[in-house]
Amino acid sequence: MAKISVKRSAQSQNDRIAQQNRRLFRKSGLFVMNIIGSPGCGKTSILEYTARHCEGRFAVIVGDVKTALDADRILSLDITAVPIETGGGCHLSAQMIKDVLPKLDLDSLDFLFIENVGNLVCPSTFDIGEDVKVGVLSVPEGDEKVRKYPALFLRTEVVFINKIDLLPHCPYDIARVRQDCRKARASVKVFEVSAKDGTGFEPWLEFLRQHRQRC
Amino acid sequence: MHELSLSDSLVRVALETPGVREGNLRALNVHVGALSSASASALSFCLALVLEQRGLKDVKVNLVEAPARARCRCGHDYSPKRLWDGCPKCGGFDRETTDGQDVTLDSVEVEDGED
């Protein structure tokens, strides 16, 4: 029996394709965000609000285990939306993104939003070529999510706390969540919003304006 | 259950390694990083499944937990056991992790003398 040294990460193939995607995005001057959160936290609702108010040109890739329902919601706003049905898969991989890129005219866009499968665990460790990971929390889920799912929040540059209109009805220590987010990543931008009534979105839209100018 | 994707990738990486073929592969030695967010028991289950599907059910899998190494922004070197373990000196999380973040195929064992 002979031993052969390998020392390669299980993620090495995914990482290689993610880097190819990233090079393509950079070439087109695109700012790409990987949106990650639990099922029902409001990822699509945040994108719908953004679609109505963002000045930049953007498209959305929407990952779902089954159906293209979320992609249809974005399409109904006249925004290009490409669905990826993972058929049971718990996260989007760099290869899945690469496979749908021919459906998009990258040079005509400022932003690409990639809505990952609703899951706080698996998507956090798969690079898909994004510039930033965006974590989405929501008030009814409880205020311990950052501590319970550090794999995501140690990697997120942007965090939304959505459904703040429900704060009067839910025991939720928003200061603690904010503090946990900063503990996990000191430079994180936290946006406290209600996608239902539009509260709190101006700083997010300003964030997008700044990144559009940089691209 | 991203362990299934990781398992599939580990087997592919093994078979891409020069000198390794389906016919001579006997064992996979896998390091599971302490901060990898992968469950060793789920990996073990999924690797067995992937190997069986490829007709390689006799390939042995050895999983070893690999400790993490990190350097905090304050300069302190430490070994976080879990992701939510801050620096023991300053309590911070702003760190550069050098080891223990990944699931890695450390080595493979192959049968001698086959060609």
Q: Which fold has domain B3-110?
A: hypothetical protein PF0899 fold (3.30.2320)
Q: Among B47, B45, B56, B59, which residue's Cα sits nearest to residue B109?
A: B59
Provide the pLDDT for residue B27.
98
Q: What is the token pair recorded at B7?
A: 């398992």
Q: Among A103, A66, A98, which residue's Cα sits nearest to residue A82?
A: A103
Provide the pLDDT for residue A35.
97
Count CB atoms within 10 A of the CB of residue A209. Answer: 14
Q: What is the token pair recorded at B39?
A: 């469950």
Which residues, other chains included, contact B81 with Cβ-Cβ below 8 Å and sequence gap of 6+?
Answer: B34, B68
Assess whether pLDDT exceeds 70 at residue A215: no
Nearest to B106 among A7, A13, A93 (CB): A7
Provide the pLDDT for residue A212.
85
Q: Which residues of B touch A12 (CB under 8 A)?
A: 9, 13
In this structure, are strands B103-110 and B25-33 parallel, antiparallel, or unpaired?
A: antiparallel
pLDDT confidence bin for B73, thresholds 50/70/90: confident
Share of chain B above pLDDT 70, in %: 97
Provide the pLDDT for residue B93.
86
Assess whether pLDDT exceeds 80 at residue A116: yes
Instruction: Give the ipTM of the model, two decimals please.
Output: 0.91
What are all long-range contacts of A97-103, with beta carbons under 8 Å and residues at least 24 apart?
Answer: A97/A21, A97/A61, A97/A128, A97/A129, A98/A17, A98/A20, A98/A21, A100/A61, A101/A21, A101/A24
8 A C-beta contact, residue A100 and residue A61 = yes
> How far is the C-alpha of A97 from the C-alpha of A99, rounded, in Å?
5
Domain spans of chain B, in order of start = 3-110
Q: Inter-chain contact A185–B93, Cβ cutoff 8 Å?
A: yes
- The dihedral region occupied by A53, where left means phi > 0, alpha psi between -120 and 50, and beta the remainder, is alpha
pLDDT confidence bin for A214, thresholds 50/70/90: low
8 A C-beta contact, residue A42 and residue A122 = no
Q: A14-214 maps to which CATH number? A: 3.40.50.300
Assess whether pLDDT exceeds 60 at residue B114: no
Greater model confidence, B1 or A6: A6
Rounded mean pLDDT of chain A?
Answer: 94
pLDDT confidence bin for B104, thresholds 50/70/90: very high
Kindly state the average pLDDT of the residues B70-99. 91
Assess whether pLDDT exceeds 90 at residue A206: yes
Provide the pLDDT for residue B1.
65
Assess whether pLDDT exceeds 80 at residue B35: yes
Nearest to B2 among A90, A184, A185 (CB): A90
Query: Residues of A at the B interface (Cβ-Cβ below 8 Å)?
Result: 1-14, 89-91, 93, 121-122, 124-126, 147, 150-151, 154, 183-186
DSSP H stretches of helix in A129-201: 145-148, 150-153, 174-184
Q: Among A188, A181, A161, A183, which residue's Cα sits nearest to residue A172?
A: A161
Domain spans of chain A, in order of start = 14-214
pLDDT tens-place string over residues A26-46: 999 999 999 999 999 999 999
Provide the pLDDT for residue B47.
97
Predicted TM-score (pTM) of the model is 0.90
Q: Inter-chain contact B20–A4, Cβ cutoff 8 Å?
A: yes
Nearest to A8 among B13, B18, B38 (CB): B13
Greater model confidence, A138 or B1: A138
pLDDT tens-place string over residues A52-105: 999 889 999 999 888 888 888 988 888 999 999 888 888 999 999 999 999 999
